[in-house]
Amino acid sequence: MDSTIDASEDSPRDHSTGLIAFGLLAVLVGVLLFAKFVIFALLSIPGVMPSRFGTEVPLTAAMALPPAAFFLALGLGSIAARRWARAIAFASSLVWLAAGLLALVFLGAWLPRILAAVRPMMAAAGSGARSSVVRACMALGVVGLVLPLLAALFYGSAGVRRECERRDAQDRWTDRLSPAALSLVLALSLAALLALQVAFSATRQRLYFGHPLEGAARAGWALLASAEIAAAAGLAGRRRWAGGAAVAAMLARSAAVVVIARRVAASPDAIFAGTRRGASAEDEALMQALRPLHWMSGVTAYVEVLSIAALVLAIAVALSSSSRRRATGA
């Protein structure tokens, strides 16, 4: 079937305003990330920052560049009504929405206990502290639920799809992937970026493990990142081995995050030691108030569930691809 749609069949509604609005939002995010890259790149110049920061500053600059390029390209593609941009925006909004929903579930489970722990401080601080908590929850709801839901509904609508296909008649590689497969490509790419941060950032290593990792462990995280990048590229190219590679990569990631979560739950003091360095008296008091809750356990549990959810998605995509190959006799 021809991918182009006759103008008479197109929705009478003009979706260009929405494409531009969401595109400008993505461009804004990309510009902010690129500004972060430029600032940290300048700070990486020898002699600008104290030597004690080591490779953390240039690493921060390097890690900001890929998402900056992604959001800039996605935003400009949406403004130009490119069909690949619509497909990627829809898939990324689904990933964003899934993460936001899980974040809200965790917030709902942890917030009563956190409020109970810090209630004496909030009472001393007055209504301003309570208002700050309410505003933070509302902001999380908007960023984690409302925006991705609106984006998913918009980019997933038939009218937007038809308009992008009409204005961009050329077949794109995204046309050959289902939304689930494309979401998995994005999840693998993001996971690879985070794995590289763990592999090369001593700060991340101290946060998760309480101490910098040895060379073998750092190499293991770098290898995991390489496997996730390879699986994402394979899925994008519809390689036969890509589904199994994605399952294996996400299985390894889930196992690693489970180990981290169990370590944090077993010895939070060792993990939190690095975060307490240089903390003010107020911050130290807050950490002590939250200490029985082991808040880092909640964060790692959230990442653990995200990794397992990505593993389930990888299995579903692999099974679906295998079923399609058997049905077509490929």
Query: How do the pLDDT tens digits run along the chain, 330 residues long?
Result: 334 334 444 445 788 999 999 999 999 999 999 999 999 888 888 766 665 556 788 888 899 999 999 999 999 999 999 999 999 999 999 999 999 888 888 777 777 766 666 666 566 555 555 677 677 778 878 888 999 999 999 999 999 999 999 999 999 999 999 999 999 999 999 999 999 999 998 888 877 777 788 889 999 999 999 999 999 999 999 999 999 999 999 999 999 888 887 777 666 555 555 454 555 555 555 555 555 455 566 677 778 888 888 999 999 999 988 887 777 665
Query: Is the same domain home to 75 and 217?
Result: no
**Of the residues 58, 80, 102, which one is the last residue of a structural domain?**
80
Give yes or no: residues 100 and 195 share one domain: no
Report the C-alpha gap between 285 and 288 in whole angstroms.
5
Looking at the structure, tell me whether residues 200 and 327 fall in a common domain: yes
Q: How many domains are contained in the chain?
A: 3
Is 137 inside a domain boundary?
yes
Residue 2: inside a domain: no
CB atoms within 10 A of CB 187: 27
256 and 319 both lie in a single domain: yes
Same domain, 133 and 247: no
CA atoms of 253 and 276, how far apart (whole Å): 28
Residues 94, 71 share a domain: no
Cβ–Cβ under 8 Å, residues 98 and 48 = no
pTM of the model: 0.81
Instruction: Give a yes or no: residue 7 inside a domain.
Output: no
Evaluated on CA atoms 24, 28, 29, 33, the torsion sign reads positive
- Domain edge (last residue) among 173, 191, 220: 173
Q: Is residue 250 part of a domain?
A: yes
Residue 247 placed within a domain: yes
Q: How far is CA 157 from CA 143, 162, 163, in A?
A: 21, 9, 10
Whether residues 158 and 304 share a domain: the answer is: no
Segments forming the whole domain that contains residue 149:
83-173
Tell me if 3 is assigned to some domain. Answer: no
Q: Say what the pLDDT of residue 87 is.
A: 97
Q: Is 147 part of any domain?
A: yes
Find, among 168, 290, 266, the residue nearest to 210 by Cα.
266
Do 90 and 60 have their domain in common? no
Is 190 in the same domain as 135? no
Domain match, 182 and 62 both: no
Q: Are residues 114 and 218 in the same domain?
A: no
Same domain? For 141 and 193 the reply is no
In-domain check, residue 264: yes
> How far apart (Å, rounded) are the C-alpha atoms in residues 252 and 300?
16
Choose the final residue of a domain: 55, 80, 105. 80
Length of the chain: 330
